[in-house]
A = this chain, B = another copy of it.
Amino acid sequence: MRLGLGLIGTGFMGRTHAVAFTNVNRIFDLPVEVDCRMIADVDAEQASNAARAFGFDAATADWHQLVNDSQVDIVAIATPNVLHKEMALAAIAAGKHVYCEKPLAPSAAAAMEMTRAAEARGVVTAVGFNYLKNPMFKLARDIIARGEIGEIRSFGGVHTEDYMMDANAPWTWRLDPKGGGGALADLGSHIVATARYLIGPITKVLGDVRTVIKTRPDAVGSSRRVPVEVEDIGRALLTFENGCSGVIEANWVATGRKMRHDFEISGSQGAIAFSQERFNELHLYLNTDESAQRGFRTIFAGPEHEPYGRFCVAPGHQIGFNDLKTIEVCDFLRAIAGEQTGHAGFREGLSVQTTVEAIYRSAKDEAWTNVPV
């Protein structure tokens, strides 16, 4: 099966998508082959340059043309999230499969609309929670599913970076409250996705949000400062459906942290710890080890951890951030081909969104809040 790709967006994430869709058939043996048909950017010249650089047949400044092109079977959306809904709905209406960057939409209501449209139209969807595609996440999930660390008792997770730590860094679209929130929406959604992937649904939350830097310059070099309306730090206490409790923190002023998407899961028979800054490793503790020899093992990703071996035949050589994206595209294509891969479709993106919104509501109400099913 050959499918045509239409990609909207030519920025960093657009390029990442282009590379992933190009590599996926070189790395994996798939029943689907992708042809890079059309790329869209509001700037026609930029679209044209990107088409040449990324190997697309055609370029357009009008994304409507792309989603309606008969040679386009898959639409990948790598644009600011305020645009996701309109683009996705149009693509779905045209019967295209849709791969949308996270967060799915600025609100759960919008995400719901997108999800229902896709399900009604019967197209396959994907949301860009690429950290979930790490082979070590699958290892962790399998260990938990097989009961090797027993009953899950506790989850602690953070997603912390420091790219907003400078009080003189100017206002950006990330700070626009219309985008759905601050650090919690941007980074916290990732750790919610991870918690759900490994432990299951979150049913109750108690959140707290803090704006550390109250005003920022309205532009680079400007001396005029505007108020910041979204949080720099968001935290939440959690209850999972299975009874496990937990806590998460999303923080984009976490000085010194570049990419912490770290978690620790305690079970009655063992524990798992992970740090994204070393994402080719998983740390596993098992009570079944001989008692004087117990300790967290540092397991390095290798060919035994699928699909690492598609990228490299030797363990410890490490896959990179962009490879996670290639795995995500692979799972998406497999889903289009009818295989079961457990990839995060719009329905899952909606659940994450719903959970994040519940945290915001709970922070406002200063009360434990149920997450709508």
Chain A residues proximal to chain B, CB less than 8 Å: 12, 15-16, 18-19, 22-23, 25-27, 29, 53-55, 139, 143, 149, 153-154, 156, 158, 161-163, 165, 167, 206, 208, 210, 212, 232-233, 235, 237, 245, 247, 249, 251, 253-260, 264, 266-271, 273, 276-279, 281, 283-285, 287, 289, 291-300, 302, 304-305, 311-323, 366-368
Judge whether B321 and A317 touch: CB under 8 Å: yes
Pairwise interchain contact B320-A319, C-beta atoms closer than 8 A: yes
A-B contact pairs, 24 of them (CB 8 A): A22-B23, A153-B253, A153-B255, A156-B158, A156-B249, A165-B268, A167-B268, A206-B208, A235-B247, A254-B271, A255-B267, A255-B268, A256-B266, A256-B271, A256-B285, A257-B271, A283-B295, A294-B297, A296-B298, A312-B320, A319-B321, A320-B322, A320-B323, A322-B323
CB distance from A82 to the nearest CB of B (A): 20
Shortest CB–CB separation between residue A295 and chain B, in angstroms?
4
Q: Given A247-B249, A368-B366, are A321 and B315 also a contact pair (CB < 8 Å)?
A: no
What would 14 more interface pairs be, CB under 8 Å, given A256-B285, A276-B316? Answer: A15-B26, A22-B23, A153-B212, A154-B253, A206-B206, A208-B237, A255-B271, A257-B271, A257-B316, A258-B314, A277-B300, A279-B318, A295-B299, A319-B320
Could you tell me the distance between the alpha carbons of A322 and B311 in the complex, rounded to whole angstroms? Answer: 7
Query: CB-CB < 8 A to A283: which residues of B?
Result: 295
Q: Contacts of A368 on B, CB cut-off 8 Å? A: 366
Rounded to whole Å, the gap between the CB of A231 and the closest CB of chain B is: 10
Flag if B295 contacts A300 (CB, 8 Å).
yes
Residues in chain B near residue A163, CB distance under 8 A: 314
Contacts of A294 in B (CB 8 A): 256, 297, 299
- On chain B, the residues within 8 Å of A55 by CB distance are 25-26
Report the bound CA distance from A53 to B27 in whole Å.
Answer: 9
Chain B residue at minimal CB-CB distance from A15 = B26
Most interface-central of A208, A291, A316, A320 (chain B CB within 10 A): A320
- Could you tell me if B277 and A253 are in contact, using CB atoms closer than 8 angstroms? no
Query: Known interface pairs A12-B313, A154-B253, A251-B154. Does A284 touch B293 (Cβ–Cβ under 8 Å)?
Result: yes
